[in-house]
Amino acid sequence: MRTGTALATGGLGMCFVGGSVAVSGLLRDAPVLTTQALRYAAAFAILLVAARVTGRPVRRPRGREWLWLTGVAGSGLVLFNVALVQGSAHAEPAVLGVAVASVPVLLALGGTGDRRIVLGGAVLVTAGAVLVEGGGRTDPQGLLWALLVLACEAGFTLLAVPVLGRHGPWGVSVHTCWMATVGLAVGGLLTEGPTAVTALRPGHLLAVAYLTVGVTAVAFVLWYSAVGHLGAGRASLLTGVAPVAATLVGAALGAPVPGPRVWLGLALVGAGLAVGMRRSRRAAPAPAPVAAAIARPAEG
C-alpha cells in the first residue's frame, strides 16, 4: 500500500465516523449497551463472511495476542461506549469531542522516528478539531470521563499495533468485534434486561445499520490498514478528519453554515495533516510491529 492510498483509506474511515454524529442522535432513547452489542454482533458477521469470500484468512489468536485483542475490544469498544454514555450526563458533547480530538498529540508524544514533525502536525490538527468542535461545560466527573474517553480512543489504535503484523486489519476487526459483543451483551443483560432489544424502533435499527456497516465493518478495516502502513502516530492525525466530515455533512443536511471559527479550524486540520505527514531526511526505520504490518497489510 502506498502512502497516498493509506492516507485516503484512513481519511475515508474517519469520514464514516464523522458522519455518524447525526446518526447517533437517533439512539439517544435506545438501550445503549444492548444496541451496541447488536451493532458489533452484526459487524462481526459481515466481516467474517466478507473475509471468507475475499480469501483473507482470520487466524486464531495465540499467546499474548489474546491480551492485546482483548485490550482493544475492552478499551476501544466496550469501555469507550460506557465512558461516552456516563460522560454525557456530566459534560456537553463538545467536551467529549475535544477529548477524542486530543488523541493525535497523545500518540505523537509516544512515537518514534519523526516525532517532532508528527507532534507539530498533531498540535495543529488537535487545535483545529477543538475549534470545529467548540467549547462546552462540564463538572469534575465529566472531566474524568473525558480523560477516560481519551485513553480508550488511544488504546483502540495503540493496542492493535502489536497484532496487526500477523492478523492484519481484517483479523483485528473480526476478533475485536466478537469480543466487544460478548462484553456489551453481558452488560446489557445485567443492566437493561433481556427484553431491552424489543424497545428498538425502526429509526433505531436504521441508525444501528449505518453504525454496523459504515462505522464498524468498513471503517475498522480502513483504519487499521492505514495504521499498518503509516504507524500509529501519523495515522492518528487523520482523526481530525472526523469533526471536519461531521461539520460538512451537517451543513449539507441543513445545519447552519459554519462560521469563521469553524473554517479556521478546518484550515488548521488541513495544515496539521500537511505538516505531520512530511518525512525528515534522517527518519528512523519503522518500528518492528508496524514494519511487519506494512509488509503484510492485506493478509487478514
Question: For residue 125, what pLDDT is reported?
Answer: 87
199 vs 294: which has the higher pLDDT: 199
Q: What 3-state DSSP class applies to 199?
A: helix
Residue entry with cell 445503549: 32
* Bridge partner residues of 138 (DSSP): 91
Instruction: Summarize pLDDT for 134-193 with one digit per residue, the tens.
Output: 766 778 888 898 889 889 988 999 999 999 999 999 999 999 999 999 999 999 999 999
Residue 159: CB atoms within 10 Å: 22
E strands, 133-273, where?
none
Q: Are 39 and 211 in contact (CB under 8 A)?
A: yes
Question: For residue 22, what pLDDT is reported?
Answer: 63
Instruction: Summarize pLDDT for 111-125 with one digit per residue, the tens.
Output: 655 778 888 888 888
Name the DSSP class of 26: G
Instruction: Give the whole-angstrom CA distance, residue 143 versus residue 18.
Output: 22
Estimate to the nearest angstrom the gap between the alpha carbon of 99 and the chain centroid.
Answer: 13
The amino acid occupying position 208 is V
Phi, psi of 46 (to 5 degrees): -65, -45
CA trace torsion 93, 99, 101, 106 (10° rounding): -170
Label residue 236 by pLDDT band (50, 70, 90).
confident
What does pTM read for this prediction?
0.82
